[in-house]
Amino acid sequence: MTTAYAGWRGRVQCAIGLVLLAFTMLAAPAFAQATAPAPRTVLVLGDSLSAAYNLRAAQGWVALTAERIKQARPGWRVVNASISGETTAGGASRIDAELKRHRPAVVVIELGANDGLRGLPLEQTRANLKRMIRASQASGAKVLLIGMRMPPNFGRDYTQGFERTFSDLAKQHKTAFLPFLLEPIALDRSAFQADNLHPVASAQPKLRDHVWSKLLPLLK
């Protein structure tokens, strides 16, 4: 082998090595990105109680829960699909599209308060909640059903039947269940805005902690 040939061969091998090194450096980030697991999603379907009514979005219990999940359960995210004024009928009409869009691993259903305040038939509320639960479970998601209660002026039969709607559905469909979202603050007038319906910002962490007790076991 001549000295000139050996030098040429060495230069070619060096060039090939540099090209391979450059390709490896460029491909590595793309490969890492392609193989990184997608975050699992908690989808919240609620009404104004979950939509941070009259507050900044970041002050609501759902946003506070999202911040806690970032710290306690990396790899999870929260999507808040709550709408102020939403009824169970609205949630039932949206559920399929929301499941398709977000593909959640957990669905939190916080709906029914507006049904009750409007005195809508309990059978209608039950049917709508059932549809949301079944659709969520059929998609492979776990469900946390959050209950609500009505004030006594709606009459004993209606208020008791309304409350039982949530507990009966949770038992029937074996969902996680929080009986009453507002339980930690229900007797504290200062925890509510002037309408006496929507919690103030300072009460939102209590709601977050209350929901967290039932949500955390689902984040596995």
Q: What CATH fold (topology level) applies to the domain 38-218? A: Rossmann fold (3.40.50)
The residues, ordered by sequence, that sit 6+ positions from 95 with a Cβ below 8 Å of its Cβ are 45, 131, 132, 135, 136
Indicate which residues carry an active-site annotation: 48, 195, 198
Q: What is the pLDDT of residues 38-77, one digit of tens each?
A: 899 999 999 999 999 999 999 999 999 999 999 999 999 9
Give the whole-angstrom CA distance, residue 177 versus residue 182: 14
Residue 197 — φ and ψ, nearest 5°?
-120, -40
192 neighbors 185 (Cβ within 8 angstroms): yes
Stretch 89-96: mean pLDDT = 98
pTM, entire model: 0.84
Tokens of 191: 């925890």
Give the whole-angstrom CA distance, residue 143 versus residue 158: 25
pLDDT tier for residue 19 given thresholds of 50, 70 and 90: very low
Q: What is the pLDDT of residues 101-141, one digit of tens each?
A: 999 999 999 999 999 999 999 999 999 999 999 999 999 99
- The confidence score (pLDDT) of residue 36 equals 66
Percentage of the chain exceeding pLDDT 90: 82
Mean pLDDT estimate for the chain: 90
- The confidence score (pLDDT) of residue 10 equals 56
Stretch 90-108: mean pLDDT = 98
